Amino acid sequence: MQLRIRGVVQGVGFRPWIYNLARRHGLAGFVLNSPRGVFIEAEGSPKSLEAFLSAMRTEAPPLVRIAAIDRAEITPLGEIDFVIRHSEAGESAFALIPPDICVCEACLADTRDPGNRRFDYPFTNCTNCGPRYSIILDVPYDRPMTTMAEFAMCDACRVEYENPEDRRFHAQPNACPVCGPRLSLRLPADPAQQTSSARAILERVGEVLRGGGIVAWKGLGGYQLACDARQSAAVDELRRRKRRSEKPFAIMVGDLATAESLCFVADEERKALLSPERPIVLLHRRPGADLAEGVSPGNPATGVMLPCTPMHDLLFRILGEQWGAAPALIMTSGNVSEEPIVIDNAEAEEHLAGIADLFAHHDRRIHTRVDDSVVRVAAGSVMLMRRARGYAPQPVFLGRGEAEVLACGAQQKNTLCLTRAGFAIPSQHLGDLENFETLRFFEETLERMRRLFHVTPTAVAHDLHPGYLSTQLALKMEGVRHMGVQHHLAHIASCMAEHGLDGRVIGVAWDGTGFGTDGTIWGGEFLSAEYAGFERYARLRPVLLAGGDSGVREPWRVARSYLIETFGSVPNASPWDQMAAPDRIRIVDAMLQRRVSTIPTSSAGRLFDAVASLIGLRHSVSFEGQAAMMLEAAADAWAGPPDPPYDFAITVATPIDVDLRPTIRAIVEDVRRGEPQPRISARFHTTLVAIIAAICRRMRADLTLDRVCLSGGCFQNARLLEGCVQSLRDDGFTVYFQQAVPANDGGIALGQAAIACEILRGGA
């Protein structure tokens, strides 16, 4: 039997594992790495061969991700032994690279054992764990091609590295206190770097944190800013220095028990907290949880993560000893405002000078910046909100030809995506392409990924929005084919690619903003979609947005628009007189009534904004999606019996319009009657689920489609997502939503890439 295995199978301990597995099953043959995947020839009894194959699927080491196994039968050669053959050098070596993975149990035990030579050593790792993507400079993935090249292994480490039976066989970042990286300390006022033992340094960090100070310390994929999450003054000071007004901070706690004492943790959430990716998991706080109000102001959810490296674990052990209580720390990206996360020691001291009271550095360079990932559990699944450390650069197997393309993504929460050999490789979260630093990060990541994965794109896919920097970058590239992809089709294609779907689907793409083919802003779309194209079957009936995209920070503007659409004018002496300053209200009303400086939008995100403002939850916001988040939280607080959906109308036209004026009228009446905000919010969500179910039923009847893909940022709202998934499944639909890549614009690049590959494969 001959096997070719594709996926993340190199540099992850796969060959020694195969070697041991084959021997266990009494097979003969060989395993080798090649630019086209791992090749195996194995001979033995049919029963052993099948057992060997099935173990490959179910028991592979933690970092291995098998995307495809090609199998061919060959004549047995009568081999008697199983061997690891030397790797085949390829002209253009291509290997998928594993993400950075949290410390494994065995390594953690080493660092906690006073008798072990790695006791308290912050950089302990093995073949199954530790840094990868953040330290790899180039392939083949070998120590000289990582930022560990500058550390020569001591004899003890080398013995482990060379022994196929050892957990550290070919662990490229293998290190110990004798030969590996070290921590150092730096006070902003004192130019001297202080070096001493890791424990002494982290004890100092603990003292500063306990005194209410802010520490910048070098984590796995970049610097993190930490302070005591229970001291309000420290948290408020961090907000002030970081220029971050209300966006929630994530916290890190030392163990699961502490997480459970602060928040409700369901089974799937527990699994996510403990998973090797170690993401930030959004959890509901327990009433009266001992955390400063400033951690996530006005928001019942808090992002929580557990230690992901031995260094984090050691700090929490030391804090536990020092403080005598289970510590909870803010652990947020080391950056100013929305800039990329800082990775370099000197860069940290420069950029974070006004923020940190103390710097804890180390001397292992971070080559690639990778922020912490954020997930939430919804509809029984882990759903990526921000995909970075632990996940990037995990590939998605497209299998749509072997074209090499670059997809540039959108504007907000940008990622890019490259394809090679049938795989799409989405980058880590890069950020909003609105400042010079993030743009530089985009270009840096593109350059590095192109080199790392040996990709020479022949086509560049981009959004249709002419104002997006990602579009402008794409159009500036020469000698490549440019492919504009409609924003909402890209969302649906991303969902299809993630689930390996083909053919045509019902695509429900609901988000804040996306450029439509008619030059207006879309965002409440029902598409009959396939990779090669789409028809806009239905949409939310457009309303006018006064002041265009600038209206996004001021939900009251779109609330006025819905009121004027519904009633012709805003009723006098209504509670809606206090939405903004009277003169600003007058100006916006005049713009809307005369239709000047306005743009029509079918955006579902703006509908959330409008309702949040109409019911008095929030008239202006400090980050996009804040109003929708508050509306979801308000709905979750409704404990009464569920209400039926509000009325809405469906207008027969092409595309079909979902007319929300009856809904708005009913909400206005509810507000006047003094119905509580949670009740109105819950009923509003129920209405949206009913709208989606009604249109999907119509599409099934008209187009004989019964697979639904839900994508776009609105489906990060767990209440909306769960309502739709349940209602559509009950109705016999097969429902797909995004899990491994974000439903928001962070997932757009994958969709663009899949579409480009399909078009190139079709020769169009």
Contact residues for Zn ion, defined by CB under 5 A: 104, 107, 126, 128-129, 154, 157, 176, 178-179
Q: How far is the CB of 149 from Zn ion (least distance, A)?
A: 15
Measured from the Cβ of residue 290, the count of other Cβ atoms closer than 10 Å reads 12
Q: Which is nearer to Zn ion, 310 or 516 (CB)?
A: 310
Q: How far is the CB of 153 from Zn ion (least distance, A)?
A: 6
Residue 686 amino acid letter = T
Measured from the Cβ of residue 140, the count of other Cβ atoms closer than 10 Å reads 15
Q: How far is the CB of 158 from Zn ion (least distance, A)?
A: 8
Q: Which is nearer to Zn ion, 128 or 438 (CB)?
A: 128
Q: How far is the CB of 472 from Zn ion (least distance, A)?
A: 44
Q: How far is the CB of 134 from Zn ion (least distance, A)?
A: 16
Q: Which is nearer to Zn ion, 167 or 465 (CB)?
A: 167
Q: Which is nearer to Zn ion, 178 or 266 (CB)?
A: 178
Q: How far is the CB of 57 from Zn ion (least distance, A)?
A: 23
Q: What Å distances lie between residue 287 and 256, 284, 293, CA to CA?
A: 18, 9, 12
Structure tokens belonging to residue 409: 């993504």
Q: Which is nearer to Zn ion, 157 or 688 (CB)?
A: 157
Q: Which is nearer to Zn ion, 168 or 361 (CB)?
A: 168
Q: How far is the CB of 178 from Zn ion (least distance, A)?
A: 5
Q: Which is nearer to Zn ion, 83 or 178 (CB)?
A: 178
Q: Which is nearer to Zn ion, 107 or 417 (CB)?
A: 107
Burial tier of 262 (Cβ tally within 10 Å: 0-12, 13-18, 19+): buried
Q: Which is nearer to Zn ion, 306 or 612 (CB)?
A: 306
- In sequence order, which residues have a C-beta less than 8 Å from that of residue 370 and are 6 or more positions away? 99, 100, 133, 134, 220, 221, 222, 341, 388, 389, 392, 428
- The DSSP letter of residue 303 is E
Q: Which is nearer to Zn ion, 276 or 320 (CB)?
A: 276
3-state secondary structure of 590: helix
Q: Which is nearer to Zn ion, 129 or 714 (CB)?
A: 129
Q: How far is the CB of 525 from Zn ion (least distance, A)?
A: 46
Q: Which is nearer to Zn ion, 128 or 147 (CB)?
A: 128
Strand partners, 31: 40, 84
**Residues 100/94, Cβ–Cβ less than 8 Å:** no
**Residues 594/515, Cβ–Cβ less than 8 Å:** no
Q: How far is the CB of 106 from Zn ion (least distance, A)?
A: 5
Burial tier of 349 (Cβ tally within 10 Å: 0-12, 13-18, 19+): middle
For 559, phi then psi, to 5°, come to: -65, -45
| Residue 197: closest CA among 209, 184, 210, 188 | 184
Q: How far is the CB of 473 from Zn ion (least distance, A)?
A: 39
- C-alpha span between 387 and 424 (Å, rounded): 15
Structure tokens belonging to residue 76: 């047995």
Q: How far is the CB of 102 from Zn ion (least distance, A)?
A: 9
Q: How far is the CB of 129 from Zn ion (least distance, A)?
A: 3
Q: According to the 3-state scheme, what is the secondary structure of 447-461?
A: HHHHHHCCCCCCEEE
**Computed over its alpha carbons, how large is the radius of gyration of the chain?**
27
Q: How far is the CB of 364 from Zn ion (least distance, A)?
A: 13
Element (H, E) at 22: helix 14-24
- C-alpha span between 65 and 425 (Å, rounded): 13
- C-alpha span between 415 and 523 (Å, rounded): 20
Q: How far is the CB of 277 from Zn ion (least distance, A)?
A: 15
Q: Which is nearer to Zn ion, 51 or 274 (CB)?
A: 274
Q: Which is nearer to Zn ion, 161 or 323 (CB)?
A: 161
* H-type alpha helices, 360-512: 436-452, 469-476, 487-498
Q: Which is nearer to Zn ion, 176 or 459 (CB)?
A: 176
Q: Which is nearer to Zn ion, 216 or 306 (CB)?
A: 306
Structure tokens belonging to residue 604: 């579902």
- C-alpha span between 699 and 707 (Å, rounded): 10
Q: How far is the CB of 142 from Zn ion (least distance, A)?
A: 18
| Residue 645: closest CA among 667, 678, 625 | 667
- C-alpha span between 99 and 394 (Å, rounded): 6
**Residues 69/27, Cβ–Cβ less than 8 Å:** no
- C-alpha span between 663 and 680 (Å, rounded): 11
Q: How far is the CB of 274 from Zn ion (least distance, A)?
A: 15
Q: How far is the CB of 480 from Zn ion (least distance, A)?
A: 42
Q: How far is the CB of 407 from Zn ion (least distance, A)?
A: 34
The position carrying tokens 């980058």 is 427
Q: Which is nearer to Zn ion, 87 or 275 (CB)?
A: 275
| Residue 403: closest CA among 483, 329, 326 | 483
3-state secondary structure of 48: helix
Q: Hey, what long-range contacts does 147-155 have (CB within 8 A, 24 or more apart)?
A: 147/364, 147/365, 147/366, 147/367, 148/172, 148/173, 148/175, 148/364, 150/365, 151/175, 151/179, 151/180, 151/181, 151/364, 152/179, 153/179, 154/178, 154/179
Q: Which is nearer to Zn ion, 157 or 664 (CB)?
A: 157
- The DSSP letter of residue 705 is -
Structure tokens belonging to residue 189: 């006022």
